[in-house]
Structure 1
Amino acid sequence: MDLLALIAAVAALALSLLAVRRTAARGGGGGVDALPEDVHGLRQEVAALRNEGSDALRHLAVVRYDAFGDMGGHLSWSVALLDDAGNGVVLTSINGRNDARTYAKSITGWACEQQLSPEELEALEHARP
């Protein structure tokens, strides 16, 4: 009986060592270099998506206000739409009793060549991360 138990223990040890070697050969043993190749591919894809996303207009802010003292309801507004580098546009709509005017101003590096109204500046600052 003891001999049978010894043979079973040796066989189990041999199978365990074989499983550990197979795991290590597939990259299961320590370190980033030992990761499977598909994980490296996924990391490259994530880096590419982050790079693509930096150009997306993902920073935005809206400021609503009364452009004229005799009107209420905050019907006028300015919205800033910018990417990670601060490039984009500020759109403004000034609403009066009889008409509405809309303006677009280009933003580069969080700055504008044209003069911005206080509300447009506020929208730009609120959009900044």
Structure 2
Amino acid sequence: MAVVLALLALAVAVASLVVGIRNARAASGAGSEDLPADAAGLRREVAALRAEVVGALRHLAVVRYDAFDEMGGRLSWSLALLDDAGDGVVLTSIRGRNEARTYAKSVAGWSGEQELSPEEAEAVAHARLARS
């Protein structure tokens, strides 16, 4: 009896395998003519995404430093946020003993539109090196 059940199970497994192979062949044959259209659509989407990402602020760098001799811990910082063309902004926070001041300066073509401090210029230079 056990042998009969084992043979029956084997027959069902083989039949399932044959049906699965036939379905896979039918599915791959039916969709093959759609592949070029799908690939072209994907290429258009990738091109559109690449065009959008050019203007994204992808090049980032932070420089931390001590702005004043009496302050330790490198609590002051400059942060460059730039796109692929080197356009964006440098944000700077200078921490003193009793206050912190924050500044924003525009950057175009990897150069500051206003004069950049050495730390701000360093942040822009690091961001430029981080280009992908």
Band the TM-score falls in, shorter-chain normalisation? 0.7 to 0.9
Aligned residues: 101
Q: Distance in 2 between matches of 1:104 and 1:26?
A: 55
For 1:67, the equivalent position in structure 2 comes to 67
Q: Does 1:55 align with 2:55?
A: yes
Counterparts of 1:102 and 1:50, CA distance in 2: 33
Q: Which amino acid aligns with 1:119?
A: E
Structure 1 residue runs of 5 or longer lacking an equivalent are 1-21, 28-34
Could you list the per-position Cα deviations for residues 81-128 of structure 1 after superposition, in whole angstroms to 9, with x for gaps in the alignment? 000011100000000001000000001111112110000010000000
The match for 1:89 is: 89
Provide the secondary structure at the position in 2 that maps to 1:93: strand
Confirm whether residue 77 of structure 1 aligns to residue 77 of structure 2: yes
TM-score normalised by structure 1 residue count: 0.73
Q: What's the counterpart of residue 33 of structure 2?
A: 26
Structure 1 stretches of at least 4 aligned residues deviating more than 4 Å after TM superposition? none
Identical residues among aligned pairs (%):
71
SS in 2 for 1:116: coil
Q: Which residue of 2 aligns with 1:116?
A: 116
Matched residue SS, 2:85: coil
Would you tell me which structure has more helix in proportion to its own residues?
A: 2
1:92 and 1:103 map into 2 onto residues whose CA distance is 5
State the AA in 1 paired with 2:125: E
Does residue 38 (structure 1) correspond to residue 38 (structure 2)? The answer is yes
RMSD: 1.7
TM-score by length of 2: 0.72
The residue identity in structure 1 corresponding to 2:33 is: R
Question: Using the alignment, how far apart are the partners of 1:40 and 1:67 within structure 2?
Answer: 54
Uncovered stretches (5+) of structure 2, i.e. residues with no partner: 1-28
Matched residues in 2 for 1:77 and 1:86: separation? Answer: 20
